[in-house]
Structure 1
Amino acid sequence: MSQFMKEHKAPWECTYAKEDKSKCKPGNKPKFDQEYFEILCLCILQTGLNWSMVRKSWPKIKQGFYGFNINKLSRATLNELIERPGVYNNKNKVEAIVANAKEFQKIKQDFGAFLNFLKSLKRLKDKEAIRQLTKQFKYIGEYTAEYYLHCVGYWE
């Protein structure tokens, strides 16, 4: 690791590889379900892309995805979203965001809030919690699930 790398905070400042995560401080715990959802969407949308470019475009992306409003996105269609400015033309990622909005609604019904769902994962070993997220959400692999938990301050 370069001596010039500075400490930074997930998710908005993190640009380093997983191997360098020791310099990346966990993110602040979101206060609302929509904040948890927006960070999940960030993790999905930056997969395979230049993270800093995604973050520079984030205000446009956020507007294109209805401000990551869970209720609006759970009713949105792929064609509707793909047509909107700021939405990446990646069918799999857009479909995943719609499916994950629906999953967030189910979690809210079952647990009252997404934070309560995350608290329920604490009884699991870390690897099991990561696997649970990969099963529960679309377009989330183990690395993305681990990074997401780091971003939302799951491990303090």
Structure 2
Amino acid sequence: MSHRAPWECLFAKEQRSRCLPGKKPRTDHEYFEILSLCILQAGLSWASVRRSWPRYRSAFLNFEIAKLAHVAPGALLRRPGALRNRKKVAALVANAQEFERIRADHGTFARYLRTVKSEKDACTMLQERFRHVGPYTAEFYLHCVGQSVYAR
């Protein structure tokens, strides 16, 4: 069975090594949207996120890094369809700003990821550089973007 989107995975967290990794994103926008998905999904059901994703895309400026990096979290919270979690919305803005810094230093987020020596280091880097990213979210994100953190 081929299942690429994380919400299509049929295996429990305890069986995560059986879950296929996602496809590597082609653009920074895709890397950022997947990170945003992982952050917004935390604590919610995949069914709820799946139903709400078109609204979230619209409310959060289609996850365009340059736009999100320069908007106040309060303005996003007032947009129709936005998730009403202040910490998650503030994290989206801060993470868009961090993506801009990474792109300024490395050209692309993919190029930056390739500088990290190990999956453990990648998880640590994600937790240190991005807001609202803990150990599980970092591992899950890397898995979603085609890294093999669960293939242990």
Q: How does the TM-score come out when normalised to structure 2?
A: 0.91
Preserved CA contact (<8 Å) 1:64 1:84: yes
Structure 2 residue runs of 5 or longer lacking an equivalent are: none
1:60 has 2:77 as partner: no
SS state at 1:9 partner: coil
Aligned amino acid, residue 39 of structure 1: I
Distance 1:12 1:34 in 2: 20
Alpha-carbon distance in 2 for matches of 1:80, 1:16: 38
Please point out which of 10, 16, 29 is paired with 2:5: 10
Give the root-mean-square deviation of aligned CA atoms: 1.6
**Given residue 144 of structure 2, which amino acid in structure 1 is its aligned partner?**
C
Give the letter aligned to residue 22 of structure 2.
Answer: G
What residue number does 2:120 align with?
127
| Per-residue deviation, 1:104 | 0.2
Aligned length: 149
Consecutive unaligned residues in structure 1, runs of 5 or more: 1-5
Q: Distance in 2 between matches of 1:153 and 1:43?
A: 14
Structure 1 length-normalised TM: 0.89
Corresponding position: 1:31 with 2:46: no
Deviation >6 Å, runs of 4+: none
1:3 is matched with which residue?
A: none
2:141 corresponds to: 148
